[in-house]
Amino acid sequence: MSTSIETNPPVFFPARAFAFVAPFRAEHDIRYYLNGFAVEPHPDGGVIVAATNGHQLAAAYCKEGRTDRRRIFTCSKGLIAAAKKPRAAFVGLKNDRLTVIESVGQELKNWSEADGLETFIQSGSPDVTGNFPDVSRVIPRLAESLEPGLKGCVAARYVEAIGRATKLAADSRFNGCRHWTHKDGGIVLTRFPSAPNFLVLTMPMRDDDMPTDPLPAFVASMHAESDERQRKEAEAKAAAAAAADSARPQLKTSAEVPA
């Protein structure tokens, strides 16, 4: 589809940022506003795009973005799929519809550079109202309050979601992420080396039924058996060496040689 692109839309942001945060939104939640995503202005210019399911929150800072105010938008699977496409450049609000535009043969650095390259238009008015979390209040204020590493207990499905985000954030097949945990044993913050302006916050789960010993009981017997095997192997090698020495012809000393 190709129509004239609005050169000064009230809201637009990079498609990659939206594709990164979208998997962290809620689905079929009675808090309907969490089924969408939020876009809010950043004090240094640009926007913050965020999504949360109540247990994890993903946020992306986009210098190449704009919004006239803090907004909450609905989010369809079609919009997410269009934003994930390799050529998808921006998501923006055009004629009160969320629209995805793509680049063809060039890298678009701003919405105004596009020339009628619409690839998806989400039906219906996207604006919703609701009490979406204040991203600035959720993110820890001081780096000193965070310790390196993922500590405590995190639900497996949330770890899996971080894994998917790592792939979306990566610029190559060599991808990874780094975790910090709040000193109070609370929230886990995850960042991505190839996407420095993306982050994920994960709430820990209760550890009442979680193991307190890092090693399960069966490992101790495995180590004991391994130690015993190594001891026997060492003894066998020593015995073999001693037997070889005794079988080797002994050279007589000068005192033993007849004059």
Instruction: Note the helical H segments in 65-120.
Output: 77-84
Q: What's the mean pLDDT when you consider all of the chain? A: 84
Highest mean pLDDT among 15-19, 46-50, 143-147, 176-180: 46-50
Provide the pLDDT for residue 49.
Answer: 96
Provide the pLDDT for residue 230.
Answer: 93
- 152-171: average pLDDT: 82
Query: Is 70 exceeded by the pLDDT of residue 199?
Result: yes
Q: How confident is the model at residue 193 (pLDDT cuts 50, 70, 90)?
A: confident
| Alpha carbon distance 48, 66 (integer Å) | 9
> For residues 45 and 188, is the Cβ–Cβ distance under 8 A?
no
Provide the pLDDT for residue 87.
Answer: 84
DSSP string, 207-248: -TTS-SSSS-HHHHHHHHHHHHHHHHHHHHHHHHHHHHHHHS
Greater confidence, 107 or 218? 218
| Alpha carbon distance 244, 242 (integer Å) | 5
Provide the pLDDT for residue 105.
Answer: 56
**Which domains does the chain show, CATH number per domain?**
1-138 (3.10.150.10), 139-237 (no CATH)
Greater confidence, 2 or 252? 252
Residue type, 177: C
Provide the pLDDT for residue 109.
Answer: 62
Provide the pLDDT for residue 170.
Answer: 65
Phi, psi of 188 (to 5 degrees): -110, 130
Picking from 57-66, 122-131, 181-190, which range would have the lowest pLDDT averaged per residue? 181-190
What pTM does this model have? Answer: 0.77
pLDDT > 90 in the chain, percent: 38
> What stretch of H or E contains 135?
helix 135-138
Cα 128 to Cα 34, 116, 124, distances in angstroms = 10, 27, 11
Query: Is 90 exceeded by the pLDDT of residue 73?
Result: yes
| Alpha carbon distance 205, 197 (integer Å) | 26
What is the widest separation between alpha-carbon atoms in the chain? 118
Phi, psi of 104 (to 5 degrees): -130, 105
Query: Is 70 exceeded by the pLDDT of residue 4?
Result: no
Report residue 186 as tokens.
Answer: 């609370």
| Alpha carbon distance 107, 119 (integer Å) | 16
Provide the pLDDT for residue 37.
Answer: 95
Q: How confident is the model at residue 3 (pLDDT cuts 50, 70, 90)?
A: very low
Query: Is 70 exceeded by the pLDDT of residue 148?
Result: yes
Provide the pLDDT for residue 116.
Answer: 53
Picking from 74-83, 101-110, 193-202, 226-235, which range would have the lowest pLDDT averaged per residue? 101-110
Query: Which is nearest to 207 in space by CA: 185, 240, 233?
Result: 185
Provide the pLDDT for residue 59.
Answer: 95
Query: Which is nearest to 62 in space by CA: 154, 195, 190?
Result: 195
